């Protein structure tokens, strides 16, 4: 993993969430490419949570208090991350319901000031603006710092669930380079204003 300045600096905790309900998954493949590209530019400790695996543990819960310890740990990892990489496949012109359900459990102020790299996959390019119209407003609600460039991939960018498009590789590198000024150790922020 790339050096990030001071020799004693701990790697940045990067937590990635793939909202796909299936395995293998193009969304998870995209997230893994993003994590690999990040690790070439920044010293990171990556963790990937896949909803295909953890979804059944929280799908039926209505409030955070009902969640099993394993999912509470996921939420804490998300809330304490230095950087989030979040990705969802497009389902019916939207993010997956389970992706939204997971983030409905995240503390309203827990992501304030946290850098978030947005990504999505779809069958075609027709729903590429899901990043701008759905993911960015969701993380805007949390007052997170969404990185300026998101990464969208369609089925044609993959071969056997691996990223095979050179243009997509370049887009990933550009999204990370443009986001670099915002990527740093996360300091929780106390909200002065409460309410919705």
Q: Mark the segment that binds ligand FMN (CB under 6 A) among 35-43, 62-70, 91-99, 111-119.
A: 91-99
CA angle 89, 148, 32 (to 5 degrees): 45
What is the total count of residues that contact ligand FMN (CB under 6 A)?
Answer: 17
Confirm or reject binding of residue 134 to ligand FMN (CB under 6 A). no
Shortest-Cβ-distance residue relative to ligand FMN: 122
Confirm or reject binding of residue 121 to ligand FMN (CB under 6 A). yes
* Tokens matching residue 56: 């059944």
Confirm or reject binding of residue 148 to ligand FMN (CB under 6 A). no
By C-beta, is 126 or 133 nearer to ligand FMN?
A: 126
Confirm or reject binding of residue 185 to ligand FMN (CB under 6 A). no
Sign for the CA dihedral angle at 113, 117, 122, 124 comes to: positive
Q: What is the DSSP letter of 9?
A: P
Q: Which residues on adjacent β-strands are paired with residue 189? A: none
Confirm or reject binding of residue 133 to ligand FMN (CB under 6 A). no
Closest to 24 measured CA to CA, from 118, 121, 165: 121
Distance of CA 77 to the CA centre of its chain: 12
Give the interface with ligand FMN as residue ranges (CB under 6 A): 20, 22, 25-27, 89-93, 121-124, 126-127, 155
């Amino acid at each position: 993993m790339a050096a990030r300045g001071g020799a004693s600096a701990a790697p940045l905790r990067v937590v990635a969430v793939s909202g796909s309900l299936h395995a293998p998954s193009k969304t998870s493949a995209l997230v893994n490419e993003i994590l690999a590209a990040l690790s070439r530019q920044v010293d990171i400790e990556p963790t990937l949570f896949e909803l295909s695996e953890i979804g059944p543990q929280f799908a039926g819960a209505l409030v955070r208090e009902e969640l099993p310890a394993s999912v509470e740990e996921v939420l804490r990892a998300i809330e304490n991350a230095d950087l989030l990489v979040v990705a969802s496949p497009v389902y019916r012109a939207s993010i997956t319901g389970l992706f939204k359900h997971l983030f409905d459990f995240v503390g309203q102020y827990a992501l304030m000031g946290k850098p978030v790299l947005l990504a999505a996959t779809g069958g075609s390019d027709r729903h590429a603006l899901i990043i701008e119209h759905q993911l960015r407003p969701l993380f805007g609600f949390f007052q997170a710092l969404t990185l300026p460039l998101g990464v969208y991939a369609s089925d044609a960018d993959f071969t056997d669930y691996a990223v095979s498009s050179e243009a997509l590789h370049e887009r990933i590198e550009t999204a990370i380079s443009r986001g670099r000024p915002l990527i740093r150790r996360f300091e929780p922020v106390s909200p002065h204003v409460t309410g919705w």
